[in-house]
Amino acid sequence: MKRVLITAGASGIGRAMGEAFDRDGWQVWICDVDAGAVASVPGHWRANVVDVTDETSVAALFAEIASEWGGMDALCANAGVAGPTAAVEEIALKDWQACVAVNLEGAFLAAKYAAPMLKAAGRGALVVTSSTAGQYGYPYRAPYAAAKWAVIGLTKTLAMELGPFGVRANVICPGSVEGPRMEGVLAREAAAKGMTRDEVYAGYASGTAMGSFVEARDIGEMAVFLASDAARFVSGQVIAVDGFTVNPDPKV
Ligand code: NAD
């Protein structure tokens, strides 16, 4: 059985990735900072409470995986937080740093400890979760967009470094995903702009050719494809799962 580690895998997109790998017959190991959510994952998954910005915890997780599994076939570096929603001049440095720490440094640390395992095996895949914000920018979300842009550079570099060892690295850029995280964004923006939640939703959706949000399951299925042998010569790529963003700033 192939083995995958998913960071921030206890809920949202990471949980849907775990479910997609599970359906495809993989062994699933997730980590997440939320102990309650970690306790809620299926009993046949492995699950650890880990903050991806804490190198000591990340190193301990990979040591446990090396000891229990003897390696892994794929890493999904998925952890991310939205960060502040504010004009750039109103963003405190500590809030910038906290956002970049999870989205960028978290991906770096996971890749840092996965790379030796995958290189030693001479095969495997890294799948990093960015965002359409990392392709186009995202007004009033500067640290998030900057970090999501940076993980694309990180992943392309990993694809160059690890390709000679048979290891691939790709990025998924989700568009707006149905679920609690986007509901929070919709509620905050509706309150700030004196609009209804449905008006804000329709505004966001109108920025895509398909006129819709996507579902976490769609991201999970793409992660499985990118980790699979069906994608054995797909590396260094940035794959949007977004219904095709035609207007990244629809002024909702
Ligand atoms: P979410 O807010 O639902 O969070 C998913 C999980 O991340 C939670 O279980 C949370 O506990 C965990 N987490 C947060 N900080 C962590 C840390 N420091 N260490 C370990 N775990 C941590 O988010 P989501 O919507 O599932 O997003 C997953 C990824 O997809 C993120 O990288 C996000 O930026 C990206 N993304 C999401 C959307 C969307 O619309 N939801 C769109 C584009 C990209």
Looking up residue 98, the CATH number of its domain turns out to be 3.40.50.720
Mutation test residue for ligand 1: of 6, 81, 100, 103, the one with most atoms within 8 Å of CB: 81
Distances 99 to 19, 148, 212 between C-alpha atoms, Å = 27, 10, 27
Q: What is the pLDDT of residue 212?
A: 95
Range of the domain at 12: 3-175+214-241
In a domain, 86, yes or no: yes
In a domain, 189, yes or no: no
Buried b (16+ CB within 10 A) or exposed e, 153-170: ebbbebbeebeeeebbbb
Per-residue pLDDT of the chain (252 residues; tens, 9 = 90+): 999 999 999 999 999 999 999 999 999 999 999 999 999 999 999 999 999 999 999 999 999 999 999 999 999 999 999 999 999 999 999 999 999 999 999 999 999 999 999 999 999 999 999 999 999 999 999 999 999 999 999 999 999 999 999 999 999 999 999 999 899 989 988 998 899 999 999 999 999 999 999 999 999 999 999 999 999 999 999 999 999 999 999 877
In a domain, 198, yes or no: no
In a domain, 218, yes or no: yes
In a domain, 205, yes or no: no
Which residue in the list 113, 136, 140, 144 is annotated as catalytic? 144
pTM surpassing 0.95? Answer: yes
In a domain, 247, yes or no: no
User: At 132, phi and psi to the nearest 5?
Assistant: -60, -20
Ligand 1 contact, 107 CB (< 6 A): no
The closest alpha carbon to 164, from 202, 118, 99, belongs to: 118
In a domain, 124, yes or no: yes
| Distance from residue 31's CA to the centre of ligand 1 (Å) | 12
In a domain, 246, yes or no: no
Ligand 1 contact, 79 CB (< 6 A): yes
Number of structural domains, the chain?
A: 1
